[in-house]
């Protein structure tokens, strides 16, 4: 992991409804702290009702319908900074409800609208959603139940950015990556924080592996965020905790509101581009997103 010296992700995307000045870079994960049960993360969040739910989307609605615009902003554009290959589109071709209580973000090998990307005519389309201007929160439990895509070049993510990114820029705004996966690691996900002095290849995080591909079943990915502490878990098992003591004297910037982001990127510095083994379309299927205080 530490051998990757190229920043994983920087993001500058134009939002349809509310601009998000996101320029963030994901970093290689450091060694995980010892895994331990997280009070079973309230039995895989079965006891989440004990806390006040501040944001929830179960993605109920007719098949083919759009996400709830009162909760989500659909972003559009490409991403030259990461050398990602997709164009994030508007509408429901790449992000739609499936009629069974899921949001499906679909990456396709196509370019029917003739989109132009940093490398020329775009080869792929996908979707990215955020809650900027709709919902943000400081501290709490943030989780999503998802089934990941598979294949070389796939890069799904569930993450957060500080709401002050437009004024202080990235990484001073902070970034919390709740879950990332790259296709060449089908049984591993990553959680990372980025801030001033620990961004890009210097981001601080860890990976977590299981004995089966994450694409074969739904899993719950979560963070518990409190003053001076962030803890990551998968299916209720804690695999990493970060505090200011991990920053080597750099500033802890996780003390203000953050908003949520869901996306499925195709290609880029970290995952590499799709190859002949990659099957399209690929889907990130999201059962729910839930936040409590």
Active-site residue (options: 75, 84, 143, 175): 175
Q: Is 175 a catalytic residue?
A: yes
Give Cα separations from 46 to 39, 40, 55, 240 (angstroms): 11, 9, 16, 21
* CA–CA distances in Å: residue 258 to residues 11, 18, 109, 202, 277: 16, 15, 32, 21, 37
Catalytic, 143? Answer no
What SS3 class is residue 247?
helix
Given the residues 75, 84, 143, 180, the one annotated as active site: 180
Q: What is the 3-state secondary structure (H, E, C) of 1-36?
A: CCCCCCCCCCCCEEECCCCECCCCCCCCCCCCCCCE
Provide the β-strand partners of residue 141.
Answer: 224, 292
Which alpha helices (H) appear in 3-159, and where do they start and end? 39-45
Q: Which residue has the tokens 């990307």?
A: 117
Cα–Cα dist 231/253, whole Å: 15
* Contact assessment for residue 33 and residue 206, using Cβ atoms and an 8 Å cutoff: yes
Catalogue the active-site residues. 175, 180
């Amino acid at each position: 992991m530490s051998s990757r010296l190229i920043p994983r992700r920087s993001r500058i995307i134009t939002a349809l409804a509310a601009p998000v000045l996101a320029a963030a870079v994901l970093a290689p994960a450091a060694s995980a702290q010892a895994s331990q049960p997280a009070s079973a993360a309230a039995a895989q969040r079965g006891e989440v009702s004990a806390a006040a739910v501040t944001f929830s989307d179960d993605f109920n609605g007719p098949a083919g319908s759009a996400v709830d615009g009162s909760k989500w902003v659909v972003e559009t554009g490409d991403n030259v900074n990461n050398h990602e290959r997709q164009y994030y589109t508007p509408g429901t071709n790449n992000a739609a409800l499936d009629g069974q209580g899921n949001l499906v973000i679909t990456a396709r090998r196509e370019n029917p609208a003739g989109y132009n990307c940093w490398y020329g005519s775009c080869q792929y389309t996908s979707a990215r959603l955020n809650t900027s201007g709709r919902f943000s929160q400081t501290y709490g439990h943030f989780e999503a139940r998802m089934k990941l895509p598979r294949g070389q070049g796939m890069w799904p993510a569930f993450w957060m950015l500080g709401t002050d990114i437009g004024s202080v820029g990235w990484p001073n705004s902070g970034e919390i990556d709740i879950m990332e996966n790259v296709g060449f690691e089908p049984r591993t996900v990553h959680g990372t924080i980025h801030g001033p002095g620990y961004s890009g290849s210097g981001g601080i995080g860890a990976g977590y592996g299981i004995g089966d591909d994450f694409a074969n079943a739904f899993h719950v990915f979560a963070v518990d965020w409190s003053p001076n502490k962030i803890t990551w878990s998968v299916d209720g098992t804690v695999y990493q905790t970060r505090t200011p003591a991990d920053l080597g004297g750099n500033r802890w910037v996780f003390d203000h509101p953050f908003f949520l982001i869901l996306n499925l990127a195709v290609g880029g510095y970290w995952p590499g581009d799709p190859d002949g083994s990659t099957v399209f379309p690929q889907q990130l299927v999201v059962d729910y997103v839930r936040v409590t205080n």
